[in-house]
Amino acid sequence: MKKLLLTLFVVFCFVFVSFAVETLLEEPVIVTSAGQSPGALQFTVVAKMVNLDYKFDKLYKVEDVDMSQFKTFVIVVGASGKGLGAAGIDLEVEINRVLALANKAKENGLKIVICNLEGASRRGESSDRIVTTLAPFASVYFVKSDANEDGFFTTLSEKAGVPMATFEMTVGLKDVLAQYFGK
Amino acid sequence: MKMKAIVVAFLILATATLGSFFRPDVRPGYGVTGIGWLSDYFTPLKGTNMDTPIYFMDSGNEGPTFLLMGGTHGREISGTTAALVFIENVVVTKGRVIVMPFSNISGVSIPDETGKAPHFIQVETKSGPRFLVYGDRRTDPVDQGIPDPVVFMHAQSGFTLEDGTEARNLNRQYPGVADGNPTQQLAYAIIEMIKAEKVDFNLDMHESGTPDEYIDERGNTRSGSSLAYTLVCHPDALEIGAVAIMEIEAFYGISMKLEESNLSYRGLSHLEIRNATGSLSFLSETPNPGQDSWRKVYDVINDPDYPLKHRVGLQLQIIQSLFNAYEMLMGETVLVTGLPSYDETMENGLFIYLN
């Protein structure tokens, strides 16, 4: 088991990561889901690997969060019927919840990360709608490569003039976080 | 001639009345330390086609107890076959594993309702020819003994599904009903067993259609199954599932989708087992070409893209990766030897692991 974990960490070091432009992000970080897929929780699993100082709730409401306490807002995008059902909300409510948070984050000067961590499995009408709705807020995109095979995220990042970091495997996000947060 | 006709008529009548008796071909390895029956935990199942054998693999060393379930749906053969590989090859060295390879044996006892796959599929194993059983998704109507309702209703919640045949789907009945219909009783018995054996975590192995796109009758391109390559987790087990699928992707190059139980869709194992017993629950889905409704012909063993060895290898790897992730997040786990990895299954072939 220990050997397996050690090897896993070695694999992280060889994961391919590409950076269009490097933007240094700061801690502490606030993380939420946009679409209620488990990607946001996966983000926190990887965040622990680099000891990122973060707070996470997949259902943060704007009235419950003091954005001034944070420097970076990470929105992990992925629409999941099961997840939305589990939360007892629909897509419209979810988009409005995250939009309110993004507006508050912008007011407080936070950098905003839009992250696709689950790749092509979280591309589709609902997930894409969430991304395009949030795109005006993006300071940077973190994207699993197979979600960008059609250039969807490249187009958004180039149009807004913001950088995008891609990674081949979910665990490759570790290197992206290390780079962007200077860990 | 007349006598012959009477005998044939009698046999048909007897079959229709009694259902299809079925006892599985399981050839335990050295790791099996005991064999029991589900009816040991709920006696009304005894002597019926709902009773099913349970295999105990106890290391004798303190540690968690893990339950491995195959055959909830009889046609989802990567689950039943992975359970057989586990029983026939693995030795548990810490903790305990309980394997129920044919959870709904009544469904396994009848052929798949689509009629496109043979009920018994011959394969060549270490001991020579052997048959894998390709059953049906639901309990044999004869064993159920009552007509399907027009609309299925989950007993505890009132949650409904328009397809009344789901009353015979084991994975809609949890936590089951002690004095309910046979499929509800089966779910109840499984819950009783999990409680009695203090199962810490469990995996219910399933298959779905493939993710392949296809052209429908109107010429439109349609997406394949969104369930393929999915690990569904109870919300309390999601972090363990996340770590497990990251390991599978990093080491074996297979990207799986993580899903969380939908709390409003009731009766499914990954939601209800945890809620009823405390056991952390997972459900895996591998892609079975036999479950693509659009395929006119298929080979559920040797499909070039989704061969059985790929699907069973993945199920076996999910088991090992769940063990690893459980240790990472819970501090201890089940340790085993003899469990083939995904790569070993692909390299050596599947049937070398069947006795």
Q: Which residues 103-122 of chain A have a CB within 8 Å of chain B?
A: 118-119, 121
Can you give the pLDDT at residue B19? 60
Residue A21 lies in a domain: no
List the one residue out of B49, B54, B145 whose CA is nearest residue B105: B49
Query: Closest partner residue to B238 among A8, A12, A41, by Cβ?
Result: A41
Can you give the pLDDT at residue B2? 57
Residue A60 lies in a domain: yes
> pLDDT exceeding 70 applies to what percent of chain A?
87
Whole-Å CA distances, A36 to A65, A83, A159, B237, B348: 18, 5, 27, 16, 40
Q: Is the pLDDT of residue B115 over 60?
A: yes
Q: Is the pLDDT of residue B1 over 70?
A: no
Can you give the pLDDT at residue A128? 97
Residue A155 lies in a domain: yes
Asked if B263's CB is within 8 angstroms of A45's CB, the reply is no
Residues of B in contact with A171 (CB under 8 A): 246, 249-250
Residue A97 lies in a domain: yes
User: Which of B199 and A183 is assigned the larger pLDDT?
Assistant: B199
Can you give the pLDDT at residue A20? 44
Residue A19 lies in a domain: no
Q: Is B51 exposed, middle or buried (0-12, 13-18, 19+ CB in 10 A)?
A: buried
Return the number of other C-beta atoms located less than 10 Å from residue B264's C-beta. Answer: 14
List the one residue out of A84, A89, A153 whose CA is nearest residue A115: A153
Can you give the pLDDT at residue A87? 87
Residue A141 lies in a domain: yes
Can you give the pLDDT at residue B297? 86
Q: Is the pLDDT of residue A11 over 50?
A: no
Question: What's the domain count of chain A?
Answer: 1
Query: Closest partner residue to B260 among A4, A83, A119, by Cβ?
Result: A83
pLDDT single digits (tens) B7-41: 444 444 444 445 677 888 999 999 999 999 999 99
Q: Buried (b) or exposed (e) across A2-20, using 16+ Cβ within 10 A? A: eeeeeebeebbeebebeee
Can you give the pLDDT at residue A14? 42
Can you give the pLDDT at residue B21? 77
Residue A77 lies in a domain: yes
Can you give the pLDDT at residue A85? 85
Q: Which residues 62-91 of chain A have a CB within 8 Å of chain B?
A: 80-83, 85-86, 88
- CATH number of the domain that A78 lies in? 3.40.50
Can you give the pLDDT at residue B8? 43
Is B126 in a helix, a strand, or coil? coil
**Best of B93, B227, B229, B246 to mutate (most A CBs within 10 Å, chain A):** B246
Band (A16; pLDDT cuts 50, 70, 90): very low
Report the length, in residues, of chain B: 355
> pLDDT exceeding 90 applies to what percent of chain B?
87
Can you give the pLDDT at residue B111? 95
Is A2 in a helix, a strand, or coil? helix
Residue A134 lies in a domain: yes
User: Which of B287 and A8 is assigned the larger pLDDT?
Assistant: B287
CA–CA dist B2, B6 (Å, integer): 6
Query: Closest partner residue to A42 among B226, B242, B251, by Cβ?
Result: B242
pLDDT single digits (tens) B156-198: 999 999 999 999 999 999 999 999 999 999 999 999 999 999 9
Q: A107: domain range?
A: 29-181
The overall average pLDDT reported for chain B is 93
Can you give the pLDDT at residue B273? 98
> Cis before residue A28, ω within 30 degrees of 0?
yes
Note whether B87 contacts A: Cβ–Cβ < 8 A.
Answer: no
Task: Give, as one character, the DSSP assignment of residue B119.
Answer: S
How far B242 CA sits from the closest chain A CA (Å)? 6
Q: Is the pLDDT of residue A21 over 50?
A: no
Can you give the pLDDT at residue A83? 87
Q: Is the pLDDT of residue A66 over 60?
A: yes
DSSP per-residue string spanning B1-33: -HHHHHHHHHHHHHHHHH-----------TT--
pLDDT single digits (tens) B263-284: 889 999 999 999 999 999 999 9
Q: Is B118 exposed, middle or buried (0-12, 13-18, 19+ CB in 10 A)?
A: middle
Band (A55; pLDDT cuts 50, 70, 90): very high
Residues of B in contact with A41 (CB under 8 A): 238-239, 242, 258
Can you give the pLDDT at residue B256? 95
Q: Buried (b) or exposed (e) across A34-67, using 16+ Cβ within 10 A? A: bbbbbbbbbbbbbbebbebebebebebebeebeb
Query: Closest partner residue to B260 among A4, A45, A82, by Cβ?
Result: A82
Q: What angle do CA A74, A78, A81 make, to 5 degrees?
A: 140
CA–CA dist B291, B294 (Å, integer): 9
The whole-angstrom distance between residue B191's C-alpha and the CA centroid of its chain comes to: 15
